Chain A
């Protein structure tokens, strides 16, 4: 029985051979890894912490991209799971005095469990699209109300202060990840690993299945896939990743307040993925980091301006760029155009190129 399952898993996640299409992502991830390793030696402490917080948001964007971009499940309350992760970590470490590792597990498990319950009841009932989005918004609002009013556990409006940083200790060795440089490396390592994992999953057969479900669930179902189950799986995985982002956020900043449940942040998450391009992997992360840094800049001038800018950007994005910015598509188009001008291809070669595509 287990052998059959292992075979099944291998089939799901079998990777196609590396090809020309994979050169750009690999190159870009190598550049990103190098940049991440070098930056702490040049950036000041303030800039480092600002970019680190933006990278945490990048993880959140990645988790939402898995859910909305890949599986086509639109939710308006994705930050529920970010908040659950953050609060789970904070409550376990501060209120119950547990080790940070336990807090990490508590936060992620808490978010995954809530996602599993909500997802089971809704997705298996066939609730999709708008309905799912609205109900997730309601879940977010209720979570915010609970975070404010359940003072004995969540600390009410002020939230929980003095959250310890991440640290691991095993067999007498302690690994402290709470310093500015250590937390930078932790966050960026998590982001890179998560991005890599997601790239692998999306390349594999499973990514194709998810794409099929997102494109036309009826047909995917007719092909014999238990679509509700796969959507539930993706929902829970995405919630767990968002919770990891929440734990990192709480551990890095040391505070968690009911703001994490604000609909504003949930809107930003959607905007990142919308601008970065749904179903892409690098785009949403880059958009999240850029826009978070932009928000920090704008907020330092005026606190009221950001929601207005956000709303305007959002509206413009929905109206005029339903597929996101697609920067790499433009780069490719420019390269092709450049090559065409450079080499003045004959009619025969142009036809050939079109055929290949």
Chain B
């Protein structure tokens, strides 16, 4: 039971980070390597809020951090990515540079030592086979709610339909009167906000440093490539698979060896199923089907 909960808490956080990436990747064909920094920004926002307002400022940070993340995401989109829409590989490099700058800027402002963050409540909940920290169950709950919400938004609303249309065929969507630029911007900010929220949620469970997000980023990309680009269900399934594999493996072997094994396994899976576990519709597939 505890094992299942561990898998769930890791997988859910991974899914939240991967969702934003997946939508941006599928829609705009943009690989946002700075996405990891938004996780870090969320965690730092929590640290700042708690330094000012005490332990219970967590609830405030839960609202403020996504707003900060969305605002910074808007800036990134507005000032850098928009200039590079027709050069997709260059956006990858540009966001990489941005992530480097942000990481170092955070270090310069806040110092290199880990920041202090607290969980808003402690205590354990009895579950079959022992007890489990209440905060982690809270994280699972929030992450599940947000992920389900995103899925509903994507699958059931008019806005979601427009998003899917842009992912499938941008030019056609534009021809039917969808403002793709605006939608891109909203999706980008939304993804950034999701990542910041995930940052707030994971912060009390890990040590908050400037390179907190990087390990999640690589995993999140694997989730997307494994799950299928441009499909929400794919990224959720992918995070479940990778989260399970990594958590279960790290019981047996060293954690870094576990990530190496997961990496190798995913590479092998990609060899035989390049379109991902649940293929979505995306221009990126045409690139993948090239070889």
Interface residues in chain A, defined as those with a beta carbon under 8 Å from any beta carbon in chain B: 74, 76, 118, 121-131, 133-135, 137-139, 141-142, 145-146, 148-150, 217-218, 227-228, 263-264, 267, 270, 274, 304, 307-308, 310-312, 314-315, 318-319, 322
| Cβ-defined partner of B270 (8 Å) among A127, A145, A146, A307 | A127
Contact A125 B291 (CB under 8 A): yes
Contact B108 A126 (CB under 8 A): no
> How far does the alpha carbon of A130 sit from the alpha carbon of B26 in the complex, in Å?
12
Instruction: Give 13 CB contacts A-B under 8 Å.
Output: A122-B267, A125-B291, A134-B31, A137-B218, A141-B214, A141-B218, A142-B256, A145-B260, A149-B254, A307-B104, A308-B104, A318-B84, A318-B90
B124 touches A (CB below 8 Å): no
Q: Given known contacts A130-B88, A307-B100, A308-B105, is B271 in contact with A141 (CB within 8 Å)? A: no
Contact B96 A135 (CB under 8 A): no
Q: How many residues of B contact A (CB 8 A)?
A: 48
> How far does the alpha carbon of A149 sit from the alpha carbon of B255 in the complex, in Å?
9
Q: Given known contacts A304-B108, A319-B84, A319-B94, is B218 in contact with A124 (CB within 8 Å)? A: no
Residue of A130, A150, A228 with most chain B CB atoms under a 10 A cut-off: A130
The residue of chain A having its C-beta at the shortest distance from the C-beta of B225 within the complex is A131
Interface string of B21-40 (1 = CB under 8 A from A): 00001000001010000000
The residue of chain B having its C-beta at the shortest distance from the C-beta of A322 within the complex is B90
Measured CB to CB, the closest approach of chain A to B192, in angstroms, equals 18
- Give 12 new A-B contacts, CB below 8 A, not counting A315-B94, A315-B97: A122-B270, A126-B291, A128-B290, A134-B221, A137-B33, A137-B221, A146-B260, A148-B256, A149-B256, A274-B93, A311-B98, A318-B93
> How far does the alpha carbon of A231 sit from the alpha carbon of B159 in the complex, in Å?
41
Contact A126 B93 (CB under 8 A): no
Contact A142 B83 (CB under 8 A): no
Measured CB to CB, the closest approach of chain A to B93, in angstroms, equals 5
B92 touches A (CB below 8 Å): yes
- Which residues B269-291 have CB closer than 8 A to chain A? 270-272, 274, 284, 287-291
Measured CB to CB, the closest approach of chain B to A174, in angstroms, equals 39
The residue of chain A having its C-beta at the shortest distance from the C-beta of B221 within the complex is A134
* Interface of chain B: mostly helix, strand, loop or mixed: helix
Given the complex, which residues of A lie within 8 Å of B25, measured CB to CB? Answer: 130
| Cβ-defined partner of A142 (8 Å) among B88, B104, B259, B288 | B259
Given the complex, which residues of B lie within 8 Å of A264, measured CB to CB? Answer: 100
Contact B107 A122 (CB under 8 A): no
Contact A121 B271 (CB under 8 A): yes
Contact A142 B263 (CB under 8 A): yes
| Cβ-defined partner of B97 (8 Å) among A129, A141, A148, A311 | A311
| Cβ-defined partner of B290 (8 Å) among A76, A217, A322 | A217
Q: Given known contacts A138-B263, A141-B218, A146-B260, is B31 in contact with A130 (CB within 8 Å)? A: yes
Given the complex, which residues of B lie within 8 Å of A138, measured CB to CB? Answer: 218, 221-222, 263
| Cβ-defined partner of A134 (8 Å) among B90, B215, B225, B288 | B225
> How far does the alpha carbon of A302 sit from the alpha carbon of B289 in the complex, in Å?
47
Contact B267 A135 (CB under 8 A): yes
Measured CB to CB, the closest approach of chain B to A305, in angstroms, equals 9
B89 touches A (CB below 8 Å): yes
| Cβ-defined partner of A121 (8 Å) among B33, B88, B267 | B267
> How far does the alpha carbon of A314 sit from the alpha carbon of B93 in the complex, in Å?
8
Given the complex, which residues of B lie within 8 Å of A322, measured CB to CB? Answer: 87, 90
B268 touches A (CB below 8 Å): yes
> How far does the alpha carbon of A127 sit from the alpha carbon of B60 in the complex, in Å?
43
Given the complex, which residues of B lie within 8 Å of A274, measured CB to CB? Answer: 93
Contact B100 A267 (CB under 8 A): yes
Given the complex, which residues of A lie within 8 Å of B263, measured CB to CB? Answer: 138-139, 142
Given the complex, which residues of A lie within 8 Å of B97, measured CB to CB? Answer: 267, 311-312, 314-315, 318
Given the complex, which residues of B lie within 8 Å of A227, measured CB to CB? Answer: 291
Measured CB to CB, the closest approach of chain A to B34, in angstroms, equals 11
Interface string of B129-148 (1 = CB under 8 A from A): 00000000000000000000
The residue of chain B having its C-beta at the shortest distance from the C-beta of A139 within the complex is B263
Measured CB to CB, the closest approach of chain A to B210, in angstroms, equals 11
B152 touches A (CB below 8 Å): no
| Cβ-defined partner of B257 (8 Å) among A149, A217, A270, A319 | A149
Q: Given known contacts A128-B288, A319-B94, is B218 in contact with A310 (CB within 8 Å)? A: no
Measured CB to CB, the closest approach of chain B to A264, in angstroms, equals 7
> How far does the alpha carbon of A130 sit from the alpha carbon of B270 in the complex, in Å?
14
